[in-house]
Amino acid sequence: MIEVSKKCIGCSKCVPVCPFAAINMIDRKAVMNEACTLCGACVQVCPVQAITITREEGASRDLSGYKGVWVYVELSETGDKTHPKKIKQVTFELLSAGRRLADELGEELCAVLMTDKDQNYAKELGAYGADKVYMVEHDELFEYNTDIFSTVMVSLVTRHKPSVILYGATIQGRDLAPRVASTLYVGLTADCTALAIKDGLLLQSRPAFGGNIMADILAPNSRPQMATVRPNVMKMGEPVHGRSPLVVRESAKLDRSLRRVKVLERKIAHDAAAVKIENANIIVSGGRGMKTKDKFKQLEELSKLLGGVVGASRAAVDLGFKEKTHQVGQSGTTVSPKLYLSFGISGAVQHIVGMKASDVIIAVNKDPNAPIFNVAKYGIVGDAHEIVPKLTEALKKLKK
């Protein structure tokens, strides 16, 4: 809790620094309102140390009354009148996973949606299992912003007390979730690959040390228990159309002054290659071993013959062989196609974590000790730039 002692001299220095506009001067004394998230910005600027924040001790926190599994609904970055923002696939994957958890707990599955314009989203969320949709509609929610979205999320959690919250481990989810976790002093586990209920708690499994070990994580003494999950990790269930979830409309007091970071310019990759590789069934990927940009181009034809999409390692992108939107890996896109065919990729950890969930990996590399062979099902030791054209020719013949 936050307290203002008698030492307060009414200087108002804390008022403008509060990111949540939660401080009013009443009778020349700072008074915090319910928008306060205990972030501590005011404590720092107070010249007379009149403000103190005390947090509840872990073990003594009251966990009763926290019920329900929530999924943060992520919308695509851009939309206009003719192309409204769409719900991202990872949301449906999380709802499918969340449904199982909610059933096991015997609790509700709720979707949390923040937008400037409701596009009848609830229907879709219901089809993937949501019992309830918390809908916050406000002009200030027209684009993702850390300050605005975390403020809304924190206030919803405080009001409704969910037991579990799942976020996509997307750039947005990985920006929002830690901010919320830090504010609420609750546990957050990143990039979970499996979620289960154990003795009423959320058991979160995740890889660590570049995937060399797995860890099971619990957050027994705080609520909500929060986790992020990468796209393409949880299986998306079949939608059941016609289910309509209960829509709970929530108000939010938001204004522009909360927004401390401004977007000056946005560039969306219009060929949407990143989206294409994220959902591709077959990926033909190349790395440094393709030697030149021209040789790398041969992968296009090969992937077309197989009905796939071209991927690239970070090295290939850095060398200018392929656009960044095709990059597979930690700093690119995580993929899990049915077939991942790689040429001249040695398999740096950052690449491997982005593709190892593929069903079948066939790797071609000159170095028999290349780490990519540790995750591949089939390893071919050989020169990628020699094999690619030959394989392309052979496949062409096969097609005839």
Partner 1 sequence: MHIAVMIKQVPDSTEVKINLETGTLIRAGVPSILNPYDHFALEAALELKKKHDFKVTVISMGPPQAKSVVQLALALGADEGVLLSDMAFAGSDTWATSYALAKGIKKIGKVDIIFSGMQAIDGDTAQTGPGVAQQLGIPQITFCEHVDVDGRRVLARKQIDGGHELQEARPPVLLTMIMGKDYAPKHPSFLAVSGSLKKPFHVWSAADIGAEPQYLGLKGSPTQVNKIYPPPQREKAAMFSGSGQESVEKILEIMKREHFTE
Residues in 288-327 that interact with partner 1 by CB under 8 A: 306, 314, 318, 325
Residue from 137, 250, 300, 383 in contact with partner 1 (CB under 8 A): 383
Q: What residues numbered 350-379 form the site for partner 1, per CB under 8 A? A: 350, 353, 360, 362-364, 368, 371, 373-379
85-114 positions binding partner 1, by CB under 8 A: 88
Structure tokens at 214: 């797995």
For partner 1, give the closer residue by CB, 155 or 183: 183
| Contact call for residue 53 and partner 1 (CB under 8 A) | no
Residue 286's beta-bridge partner residues?
Answer: 312, 343
Q: Pick one of 4, 41, 236, 252: the residue that binds partner 1 (CB under 8 A).
A: 41
**Exposure string (b/e) for 358-368, b if CB count within 10 Å is 16 or more?**
beebbbbbeee
| 96, 172, 313, 334: residue in contact with partner 1 (rule CB under 8 A) | 172
79 part of the interface to partner 1, by CB under 8 A:
no
115 or 170: CB nearest partner 1: 170
Smallest separation, CB 249 to partner 1 (Å): 27
Nearer Cβ to partner 1 (245/392): 392
* Cα separation, 153 vs 310, whole angstroms: 38
Cα–Cα distance measured from residue 249 to residue 140, given in angstroms and rounded to the nearest whole number: 16
Angstrom distance (rounded) from CA 177 to CA 153: 9
Shortest reach from residue 377's CB to partner 1, in Å? 6
Q: Amino acid identity of 211?
A: G
In the list 84, 211, 237, 239, the residue contacting partner 1 (rule: CB under 8 A) is 211
Find the binding residues for partner 1 in span 222-281 (CB under 8 A): 222, 260-269, 272, 274-275
Q: How far is the CB of 349 from partner 1 (least distance, A)?
A: 5
Considering only residues 216, 255, 294, 367, which one is a binding residue for partner 1 as defined by CB under 8 A? 216
| CA gap 177, 349 in Å, rounded | 25
Report d(CA 238, CA 45) in Å as an integer.
53
d(CA 133, CA 125): 8
- Determine whether 168 is exposed, middle or buried from the number of CB atoms within 10 Å of its CB (0-12, 13-18, 19+): buried
Binding residue (CB under 8 A) for partner 1 from 3, 34, 77, 367: 77
Least Å from the CB of residue 259 to partner 1: 9
How many angstroms separate the CA atoms of 312 and 299, rounded? 10
The token duo for 183 is 């504010």
Please count the other Cβ atoms lying within 10 Å of the Cβ belonging to residue 269.
12
Among residues 15, 197, 217, 248, the one that binds partner 1 under rule CB under 8 A: 217
63 binds partner 1, rule: CB under 8 A: no
User: What's the CA gap between 322 and 311, in Å, rounded?
Assistant: 8
Residues 6+ apart with CB under 8 A from 318: none
Q: Interface with partner 1 includes 49 (CB under 8 A)?
A: no
Contact track, partner 1, 10-29, x by CB under 8 A: -------x-x----------
Q: Which amino acid is at 70?
A: W
Interface residue with partner 1 among 2, 42, 195, 299 (CB under 8 A) is 42
Range 132-171, binding partner 1 (CB under 8 A) = 144, 146-147, 150, 170-171
For residues 69 and 226, which CB has a smaller minimum distance to partner 1 in the complex? 226
Residue type, 316: A
Stretch of residues binding partner 1 (CB under 8 A), selected from 3-11, 103-111, 292-300, 343-351: 343-351
Piece of the chain touching partner 1 by CB under 8 A; list 109-117, 155-163, 285-293, 341-349 = 341-349
Tokens coding 220:
């027994």
Region binding partner 1 by CB under 8 A among candidate stretches 103-111, 208-216, 242-250, 288-296: 208-216
* Other CB atoms within 10 Å distance of the CB of residue 400: 4
Residue 179 in contact with residue 150, Cβ under 8 Å?
Answer: yes
Nearer to partner 1, 77 or 104 (CB): 77
SS3 per-residue string spanning 67-96: CCEEEECCECCCCCCCCCCCECHHHHHHHH
* Closer residue to partner 1, CB minimum distance, 247 or 348: 348
Q: Which stretch binds partner 1 (CB under 8 A): 111-119, 131-139, 207-215, 248-256?
A: 207-215
- Strand (E) or helix (H) holding 225: strand 225-229
